[in-house]
Each structure stands twice: as structure tokens, then as C-alpha cells.
Structure 1
Amino acid sequence: MARKPSLITVNGVATRATSLYDQLRIDILSAQLEPGSKLTIDTLTERYSTSATPVREALNRLISDNLVEKRELRGFVVAGISAQDLEEITKTRCWLEERALRESIAARSTVWEEELVLAHHRLSRTPRSLADDHFEDNPDWEPLHRAFHRTLISGCGSRWLVSFCELLADQHHRYRTLSAPRAFSTKRDVKSEHTQLMEEAIAGNADRAVELLCAHIRRTADIIKGDPALFSKHEQAEGE
């Protein structure tokens, strides 16, 4: 079934390319379009019920986001994954979010604290999986998870820093999505990790909060890298 993106308007003018970019981005981050898969213009125009021009514009924007690659002889493909890439994303994300969190704590206000408590409350009340005995993705969880982490660093005073952190979080999310069933099977207490992180941040304990945040991010990466089938599967797919 074709997925027709809703139109976004700018001064009353519909922008199909922007809508298509948003939908393609969501489908890549959620692994509906898997790493290494071909993105032919004809297939995408049919999938999203649109024309070739907005498809090309959207793909070129996604190249800038490092979510799509243009390869000689193969055309457009969803950006590949690798353990090395994940390690680089993780390391860089820790560097940037450490600075953003320290600045947010240094400038903490009542408004920031209240927003963080609220974001944590909403996340803590939402289960990661819709089933207890097996992984069944809860679509409500990820937006709340991202909102919590975004709020955590939102007081840093730099929209550029927040933007770069969001870009890396997108990349990290793509890996997490691909390995979500394995992560669920580890029975990791993510809820407690978020609670401790919130409490230390609100208490103004920057060193401890940063330590918890980086450990939280790295723990996720370690679980993903421990998935024996993940990288071999997609490396094989890219070679086809």
C-alpha cells in the first residue's frame, strides 16, 4: 500500500518534498527501509504516491543527514551500518552531550527542572514493549524517550549544540531500532537509569549526571554490538 505523505504548507503553499523528506526519514530511522537497501526513484514514487522531482529533492536532503548515500552504479541507497560507525557515533554523542548537559545543569532553572520532571514522568509511565513476555514495539515510547533526552540538554544555551546532539541521536536510534528485540531480552532496567539521571541533574551533580549519561549511551551501544546477526546480515545485504 502506498504511503502518501501529508502536505506541509509554507505561507499556504504545499511542499511535497518536505513532507516526503519527513516520511522517508521516519521510515529509515524506524528500519522500514533497511540499511543498504536500494532507493530507486520509480519504487519510491509508487510507495509514496508522488512524482520523481520531490523524491530526488528528499533524497538529496537525506544525503546531508548521512541517512542516504549515492553510490556509483547503484544509485541511492539507505546508509549502511557497521560496528565501527556505531562506535564513532557513540563516542561523539558522549562528547557533545556531556558539554550540553554540563551547561544545562550550570544554568538550571525552575522551568527546566519542571520540564525535565514532566518529561521523565511521561516516559516512566509508558512501557517500552506492549507485551511482557516478548518484544512488541510501543510506538508511544520512542517520542517520549527522545523528549526526555532532549529536555535534559535543552538548557545548554546553544541551539547548534542541541541540533548536533539530535543528529547523532537519530543515528543512534537507527541502530537501536534494528537491535530492539535483543535489547529487550537483556532485561535492562532502563527506567531506573533515566530516574537516576534525572535526579542527579536536578540536584546539580554535573559530574555524576555526566557519568550516568555516558554510561547509559555506551550501554546501549554495547548491547547492539553484542547482536551477532545484526552487522553480518546488513553487510551481506549491501554486498548483493
Structure 2
Amino acid sequence: MARTPAVSIDNRPSTRATDLYDQLRADLINGQLEPGSKLVIDALAGRYATSATPLREALNRLISDGLVEKRELRGFVVAEVSEQDLVEITKTRCWLEEIALRESIARRDRAWEEEVVIAHHRLARTPRSLSQEHFEDNPDWEPAHRAFHRALISGCGSRWLLAFCDQLADQHHRYRTLSAPQAFTAKRDVKSEHQQIMEAAVEGRADEAVGLLRGHIERTASIVRADSPLFIQGR
């Protein structure tokens, strides 16, 4: 991630903390930092080439996102994963995205429809895995996937609702990433699921679109929950 030269307003601690927040958040969501592992300040400072002060600021911000926990005697740790947590995240995400999708469909216009169709087209043309024989993560797939799901609810007219939906989608993404190989081998036509959701949404069939979206999210959670090694050792 390119940054401006040293003599710059970007070197202020608050801005550096924002950069660190973005980097740490991405690594936490993408499973680069092991759930339950201790976040040692000195080690992280070396990893992210920073000092302790902006690092602590960034970690405290991540606590409110539910990605980091602060425990007595242990300091900062990566938030644990659990089956119960996944169930709660899934249920809440379905509730909120149903509201957002219904509102988006009720307020739909040509611009929103085009955004949804274009986002779906880009996703449909992006393979999930770089290999047909085994799972090899395609770094272009997740951004396209998130863009499609975000486009579906983007017309709801509430930035607060979108922010809550984004936070829950991040949490869901974290679980999906930790269980990606399991999800890849599951017998499921994800492309068809996305296609059906897109068509129902742009054609204004709100009840059908909501039902399809809910089933899509719940199906993903069921596959992750079947990946029992994800929840062993107290995770």
C-alpha cells in the first residue's frame, strides 16, 4: 500500500494509527492472524514497521469491531471463533440485510439496477479458485463478491444500516476465509445463487430476493459450521 513521503501530514500518529487499523483489520478478516493468538506489541511493531503508540490505538479501535479482545493479564488477543458466534452473526446479518434489500428494491432506480447488474457480471467472470483441482485462493474474487453484496443493499438510503451490514459481512468473511477449502469442495452452485438473487432484485421481486439472499447466507454458514476443525481447541 503506497504512502506519501516522510515529511507529510500522514506521519502524524493519528493517521498512522488509521493506516495500521486498515492493515490489521484486513489481516484479521483474511485469517492472517490466528484466532485466540496473543497480539504482542513488540512483535506487531516489527511486523508492521511501527511504534507502540499508534499500534495500541489501532488495536483499541479493532475491539469495537469485534475482531480483537483485551483480556486481563494477556493484553490484546485475536478474537476467538465459535459456532455459537457464527450462528448469531448469521442470524443478525440476515435480519439487517433483509431490511436493506427490501428498502433498496422499494427505492430502486436505473442507476441502482445497473450497479447491481455490473457488480454481478464482474463477480460471475471471476473464478473462486485459481485451480480447478484444488483450492487456490483467487485474490480478485472476494473484492468482487463483496462489491456485489454491497450493491444489492446500497440503495437502502441509510448509511447507518449499511455500516452495520458491512461490519457483519466482515465477520462472516472472516469465518468463510478460515474455512475456505471446505467451502470450495462443497457441492454448491454459488454462481447460480448469485444470478437468481440479482434477477429477483432488479425485477423488483422483493420477497423472492430476500428469501434467496437469506438462503445464500445461511447455506454458507452451514458449510462453515460443518468444518469441525475450525471450532476445536476451545475456539
Asked if the contact 1:101/1:153 (under 8 Å) is kept, the reply is yes
Structure 1 unpaired stretches of 5+:
none
Distance 1:94 1:134, change over 3 A: same
- Answering whether residue 32 of structure 2 is matched by residue 32 of structure 1, we say yes
* Correspondence for 1:13: 9
* Correspondence for 2:184: 184
* Correspondence for 1:43: 43
* Correspondence for 2:165: 165
CA distance in 2, matches of 1:41, 1:226: 34
- Answering whether residue 223 of structure 2 is matched by residue 227 of structure 1, we say no
Asked if the contact 1:6/1:19 (under 8 Å) is kept, the reply is no
* Correspondence for 2:156: 156
Aligned counterparts, 1:1-240, within 5 A: 6-7=2-3, 13-14=9-10, 15-233=15-233, 235=234
- 1:23-74 CA-to-partner distances (Å, cap 9, x unmatched) read 0001000100011011011010010111111110100000111100000111
Matched AA of 1:27: D
Asked if the contact 1:8/1:16 (under 8 Å) is kept, the reply is no
CA distance in 2, matches of 1:95, 1:158: 15
Which 4+ residue blocks in structure 1 deviate beyond 3 angstroms? 5-9
Measured after TM superposition, the shift of residue 16 of structure 1 is: 1.1
Asked if the contact 1:135/1:181 (under 8 Å) is kept, the reply is yes
Measured after TM superposition, the shift of residue 8 of structure 1 is: 7.4
CA distance in 1, matches of 2:188, 2:22: 31
Structure 2 unpaired stretches of 5+:
none
Q: Share of identical aligned residues, percent?
A: 71
Normalising by structure 2, what TM-score? Answer: 0.95
Distance 1:151 1:69, change over 3 A: same
Measured after TM superposition, the shift of residue 220 of structure 1 is: 0.3
CA distance in 2, matches of 1:59, 1:123: 32
Measured after TM superposition, the shift of residue 184 of structure 1 is: 0.4
Measured after TM superposition, the shift of residue 7 of structure 1 is: 4.0
Measured after TM superposition, the shift of residue 6 of structure 1 is: 4.8
Measured after TM superposition, the shift of residue 228 of structure 1 is: 1.7
CA distance in 1, matches of 2:230, 2:83: 10
